[in-house]
Every structure is written in C-alpha cells, then in structure tokens.
Copies of this chain bind each other. A is one copy, B any other.
Amino acid sequence: MSSDGGGTLVVGLSIPEIQGTLIQADAAFYDDSALTHLLLYTSSDAAFLLQEARADGFDYITCNLPKSLEPRTDVTSLDSRWWRTSIVGRMETPSMQQMEWAQHMNIPAVLLPEVSPRDVDTCQKIASLALVASASNGQVWIQTRLTEDSINAFDSLHRFCDGASNVGMMLTLDNDVRDVGNDAQTLVARQVVLLHKAIGSQLKAICFPTSVFLTNKRGYPALSKTHQVLFTEVLGRIGKTVRVLLEGPSKHEVGECGKTKCVPYLQYIRHLRQRPEIAQILDSPEASLEEPYLDQLQRPLQPLADQLEFQTYETFEKDPVKYLQYQKAILAVLRNGVATIQGNPSQTRITIMVVGAGRGPLVRVALAAIAELGTPLNFHIYAVEKNPSAVIYLESLARYDASWKNAVTVVHSDMRQLDPHKLGNAQADIVISELLGSFGDNELCPECLDGLIGTGVWKDTTVSIPSSYTAYLAPVSSMKLHSEARAQSFFPAKPTSGGLDSAPMGVQCAMETPYVVRTHAASQTHPEQRCWSFAHPPVKRDKERTCHLVFQPDPTHGAGSGSGYGPYDPALAAIAQSMSTADAGSISVHGLVGSFEAILYSGGGEEITISTRPKSFSVGMFSWFPLYFPLKEPLRVPGGADITCSVWRRTETNSAGSGRVWYEWSARVTDAMGTVLGQTHIHNPNGRSYNVTL
C-alpha cells in the first residue's frame, strides 16, 4: 500500500455487480445503484492511486479536495470522465471553495465528518454546500457511526438541511461492539435496531475499517458474527442501492494481495455478497423487475375514471399467488355451497358473476376451479367489465376460446349500473371481484359492490369473493420517501390533461396525497395495527370510517417489519427484542404505511386469505405495493413516547348520484405523562388535495 504521509486507506465493493465496469458505474451512480469504492484519505495523486485501485478490482477512490487553489498533478493528468465517475471528494470542514471545485469537476459525492447538532454554524454551512451540490446532482455524505448519538446527529443535520435529498449517511461499522460494557446480546440487539433506523435515514454507504476484521485460521480476514448479521441485513434490505467501503491500511497481506494490498478484504466481502441467502434476495428475477419501482411514488389509480392499459392487465395476471388463492376460494365455495344451491328445486344452474373482469383472469380461474371440482356442474359465468377496450379482449375469448364458448357471457357495463335484463334476470350465486387497493378499500371496492347490490342481481344467499378485508397501518421512518413526496410538488396536478396549462401541484397537494410505493429505504417503526374492515354483503351501509391507533414504545423499533413491505422477520425481531423498552431511542416518523389483509372465503373449516401486511404477508404475491401517507413535516418521537395516528375514510355523494371518497390523516406524539410533544395538522381536509371519484 503506497499511501504517503501515514494516510488511511478505505476500499469498498459493488453489491449487485461485483465486476461492474466503469461505464456502468457512471450511469449507476446517478441511478443510485450500488458501486465499488476504494477510498484513500490522504493522497497527492488521485490518478496514480485510481490506477492501482482499479487494477485490484475497485472502482472508486476518495481524495482530499484541493485547499486554496493549490496546484496538483492529478488535476491535469486525469480526464474528466474519471473525476465524474471514480472520485469521492473528502472535505475536513465545510468549504464553499472546495465544493465549487468538486462541482466544477462533477465529482459525484463529497464526504464530510459528523457534525453535532449543537454546532448549528457548521450545519448551516453544510446546508449551503448541499444546495450548491444539488444543482449538479452532487451528493453530500456525512460520516456517521452506529450509535444513537451519531444517528441522531445526522437526523438533526438532515432537518437543518430541510430534508435535502442529496444529503446522505456513510455509516462506519467500527469496533464499538467491543468497547461497550453491556452484555453481548443487548449489544447486538442495539446495533440491529440502530441499523434499522439508519436504513430509513438516507443510508447511502456503509464502511468497514480494516481494523474490525478478525483473522481466520488460514490468516485471512473475516468479520465477527455481529458484523456479519448487520452486513447481511444491509444487503438484504438495501443491497441494490447501498455502496460498501473498506477503510484503513491492510492488516492481512495474504494470498494475492494486489497493489493496494486490500484484495483479501474485497474477496471476503464478495464472498458474503454471494451467499445464497443474499443472492436469492438481490439476484432474483423479481428483484430485477422491482428495481425501477424502489421508493418511486405512484399516484393511486382513479379506478372508476381511469381505464387500465392492456399491459397493466397482462403484468398483474402473472401474480403467482393471488389467482391461486382465488381459485382455491372458488373451489371451496363450490364444494361447500353447490349442494345447497342445487338442492333448491327452483334453481337449475349456478350463476357466477365476475365483476370488473378486465381481461378475464378470474373467469379463467373460475373455469379452472369448476374443472378441478371433478363433478359435472350446470353453470354460467357473466363477465362484467366497464372498460370498452378490455371488453374487446373478453369478447374475443368468448368467441374464439373453446373453454369460454357458451360458458361465458360478456357484459359491457359499469357494475353499479348493471341492467339485469342483459343477464336474463339471473341473480348471482357467486360474485367474484378483485377491486382491492393497497389499503384494501382505497380503490372503492365497498362502493362498487354495494352498487352491484343495488342493481338487484344480488340475493340473500349470494357469496362474495372476497368476503371481507381489513386495512392496516403503521408509522414509517423514511427520509427518502419524504423527499420523494416533496419532489412531487413539481409534477402537474393533472398528469393526463396534456397541454401547457397543467400547473404543478404544489407542496400542499403533494404532501396530502397517499402514494402507492415499493417502500425500500424505509423503516416501519412499530408493528402495524388494524384500522377498519369491510364485508360483503355489508354489515352496515355507512362506508365512512374513523380510527385512532396508539403506537406505544417498541424496543425493536419495528425492526422485524423491515420497510413495511414483505414478510415479517421473526428471527431478526427476536434479536432486537432483547433490548429493553427503556433503552429504545428516538426516531423520526415521515408518514404512515398502509397495507391490507383480505379473507377471500371462510367456511367449512377453511379460510383462504391474501395479505400485504408484514405479519401475514403472502410471500411471492406482487400485485400490491404499500400505500404511503406522507406527513408534511417529519415528527420526532423520543424514546418512551407514544405516537397516535388518526385516519378518517370520508365519502360524499351528491344529488346526481356521483360523489367521491378520500382519506384524512394526522399524527400526535405524547410522552408517558400525556404531554403533547409534537403533532401534525390534519392532512387533506375535505379531500382538498386528493380524492377518488365515484
């Protein structure tokens, strides 16, 4: 290692593409994809060091930014493409002159030391630097340690910077584990919880000092069990976007050492990355498909006003879990109910209505369930669909597909205005629908099925699949989602109107809209709680709902629930659980994350469900991402404090029969004495910013 002046070496490696070329790295940096780094703290020639580092398989180095216009040889010897792809600039104290030079060179990220929130002057300087850097997509990374104080200091700095999306954390996993006097189990628990918090706090890079590596029997470097647990968690959660670094001079000059002498560390980190439990999370086809959606907010559908596209139907029909569950539910209904139905001498055949049939996947599984039943069944299926373009598809199947011919009648109608004559006045024995949204009822399933009841095709014995569904909610900490929501303010309020007069929606509207999003750089902070339920036929006519959920201090800070999407991790939660409630620190909450659990059918000892809430997640099902309700300003929840979330489902129908549905929400933080420590306003009063048209 040829570092001059006693410098410290930091090296790192790419997560998704260990052997990524520089050209890919260039694009990837701005795509927020993971990269390889080699950071060298003190150097007078970045050109020379970059060459050595690249020869060893690293992509990046750091170098100190030049002070007071000092001449340097690397400035003239290294082309711009290297500066803007392979150099992270290091600054000892915030300097506008250095930041302007970094911008001039298009250096993608600048690294700064941790700053205490009490040092407001330095925070003010960093806020200025971050604003300058943002003009050219430059990032500012703050060196942070895995301690309560250090992460809180970053949280505070980030608030001072008004939630700047380009200010992120480089988390150093150093030797704290051994230095603290607590017992080992609590120690690991604390680290796991802190890491969970960091993932919601703009964790851009993770850094291992070479000093934390142990030595294995053959003399090679290896991480302690604790560091392996932490690193595995980082990879599994945000391995697609995080950068990994190694810092310090080599202590393990074994095997093929390369010019930087840090190759053994690189090999070890690669080995961890390639473990099957990580590879199956990061390298699956599903992970690749999901990648463009990570933390990307989508405005929720207007299911009654918008027509789905052909491709959207096609994609969702491929869900490997959802339609299997529907088929099971239909089969169960047929098994449990057909005898009863056909026992009635006035009824000669089973009438199945698929309402909102789209391109017919539920017709397909109904036909499959009937075939699976194994006994001949006198039945007819009505496929009701409002989208005229989808009706062309359904009609084409009804005319040309052998299994559909004579068995299926396509009805082009909004289910709420269904004319019973078009169905020969048949009433439904089974109504099958898939109108659920990310929050269960948010795509107006309750209103649509109630509308269907009003048309007279529903009878006392009609069975609905789904039979009921429940919305769930949890607070979420995510600087990333919060800044993405704020960035929506620039988008046109009416994205589909085209033309030149579509004004941007503005901050108020942006922060009072719930978004469908694959939460990723996010941490659910408490176990989710039940909001409300709907059943079909309905228990009560009123479709307005209110719920107030008190989330009490949770020692795990919700670590087992990850980002709020995907299955709960009981093993990790068990580790975190060994920390006491009293030890749990504070956290920032940036919004609420909504999910649902639906019972498709319950009867005859069977219950067939689908779920997106972490505690009961249907593994493999991809049809729904969570719903993110932003809070306009993040709420600070100190250790030991409660957060109470209120959500209202409101409806409005005008005399013409049309109307709208919307949610309102707020949150409040109280300490053990009930003193209010913080609260938000009520978001979206009267549906002023967002509502769904009936």
| A contact residues vs B (CB 8 Å cutoff) | 66, 69-73, 75-76, 79-81, 83-84, 97, 100-101, 103-106, 131, 134-136, 162, 307-311, 314, 387-393, 395-401, 412, 486, 489-490, 492, 495-500, 503-504, 507
Q: Write the chain B residue with the least CB distance to A72.
A: B396
B100 touches A393 (CB 8 A): no
Contact A309 B392 (CB under 8 A): no
With A131-B499, A135-B498, A500-B486 in contact, is A392–B311 under 8 Å at CB?
no
Contact of A392 among B69, B136, B412 (CB under 8 A): B69
Q: Do B69 and A391 touch (CB < 8 A)? A: yes
Cα A507 to Cα B79 in complex, Å, equals 40
CA distance A308 to B390 in the complex (A): 53
B80 pairs with A311, CB closer than 8 A:
yes
Q: With A134-B498, A310-B80, A500-B507 in contact, is A71–B103 under 8 Å at CB?
A: no
Nearest B residue (CB) for A75: B396
- Among residues of B, the one whose C-beta sits closest to the C-beta of A501 is B507
Q: Is there an interface contact between B388 and A498, defined as CB atoms closer than 8 Å?
A: no
Complex CA distance for A393 and B74, rounded to whole angstroms: 9
Please tell me if the beta carbons of A80 and B314 are within 8 angstroms of each other in the complex. Answer: yes
Name 5 extra pairs, CB < 8 A, besides A105-B309, A131-B499: A71-B392, A104-B309, A105-B310, A136-B309, A503-B504
> Does more than half of chain A's interface fall in helix, strand or loop, or is it mixed?
helix
Interface centre among A134, A162, A495, A498 (most CB of B within 10 A): A498
Q: How far does the alpha carbon of A75 sit from the alpha carbon of B136 in the complex, in Å?
A: 46
**A393 CB → nearest B CB, Å:** 5
Separation of A309 and B108 alpha carbons in the complex (Å)? 13
A69 touches B412 (CB 8 A): yes
Shortest Cβ distance from A166 into B: residue = B498
Closest to A107 in B: B310
Closest 4 CB pairs of A and B: A104-B389, A80-B311, A71-B396, A71-B395
Contacts of A503 in B (CB 8 A): 504
- Asked if residues B135 and A97 are in contact (CB atoms below 8 Å), the reply is no
Q: Which residues of B contact A401 (CB under 8 A)?
A: 76
CB-CB < 8 A to A309: which residues of B? 103-106, 136
Chain B neighbourhood of A387, CB < 8 A? 104
Neighbouring B residues of A75 by C-beta, 8 Å: 392-393, 396
Is B71 a contact partner of A399 (Cβ separation < 8 A)? yes
In this complex, the member of A100, A395, A496, A500 whose beta carbon has the largest number of chain B beta carbons within 10 angstroms is A500
CB distance from A410 to the nearest CB of B (A): 9
Inter-chain CA distance A525–B393, complex, in Å, is: 49
**What is the CB-to-nearest-CB distance from A481 to chain B, in angstroms, rounded to a whole number?**
16
Residues of chain B lying within 8 A (CB to CB) of residue A400:
71, 73, 76
Rounded to whole angstroms, the CA-CA distance of A101 and B395 in the bound complex is 14
B496 touches A500 (CB 8 A): no
B residues in contact with A136, CB < 8 Å: 309
Q: Which residues of B contact A391 (CB under 8 A)?
A: 69
Q: Tell me if B310 and A76 are in contact (CB < 8 A).
A: no
Residue of B nearest to A311 (CB): B80
The reply to whether B135 and A389 contact each other, CB–CB distance below 8 Å, is no
Q: Across the interface, which residues of B come within 8 angstroms of A80, CB to CB?
A: 310-311, 314
Minimum C-beta distance from A394 to chain B (A): 9
21 A/B residue pairs, CB under 8 Å, sorted by A: A66-B392, A69-B412, A71-B392, A71-B398, A75-B396, A76-B396, A100-B389, A101-B388, A101-B392, A103-B389, A104-B308, A104-B309, A104-B389, A105-B389, A106-B310, A106-B311, A131-B497, A135-B497, A135-B498, A162-B499, A490-B504
Q: Which B residue sits closest to A308, measured CB to CB?
A: B104
B84 and A307 within 8 A (CB): no
A466 to chain B, nearest CB (A): 26
List of B residues within 8 angstroms of A69 by Cβ = 388, 391-392, 395, 412
Q: What residues of chain B lie closer than 8 Å to A393, measured between beta carbons?
A: 75-76
Contact check, A100 vs B392: say whether CB atoms are below 8 A apart: no
Of B79, B131, B310, B390, the contact of A314 (CB 8 Å cutoff)? B79
A97 with B388, Cβ < 8 A, contacts A489-B500, A498-B135 known: yes
B104 touches A310 (CB 8 A): yes
How many angstroms between the C-alpha atoms of A143 and B106 in the bound complex? 46
CB pair A388–B489 under 8 Å, yes or no, is no
Rounded to whole angstroms, the CA-CA distance of A84 and B395 in the bound complex is 21
Nearest chain B CB to A348 CB, angstrom units: 29
A308 neighbours in B (Cβ, 8 Å): 104
Set of chain B residues within 8 Å of A499, measured between Cβ atoms: 131, 162
CA distance A83 to B79 in the complex (A): 44
Tell me the smallest distance from the CB of A632 to a CB of chain B, in Å: 12
- The listed residue (B101, B388, B392) touching A389 by CB distance below 8 A is B101
Residues of B within 8 A of A399 (CB): 71
Task: Please give, as numbers and ranges, the residues of chain B lying within 8 Å of A79 by CB-CB distance.
Answer: 314
Bound together, the chains give a CA A149 to CA B608 distance in angstroms of 67
Contacts of A100 in B (CB 8 A): 307, 388-389
Q: How far is the CA of A400 from the CA of B397 in the complex (A)?
A: 77
Chain B residues whose C-beta falls within 8 Å of the C-beta of A496 in the assembled complex: 135
Asked if B72 contacts A498 (CB within 8 A), the reply is: no
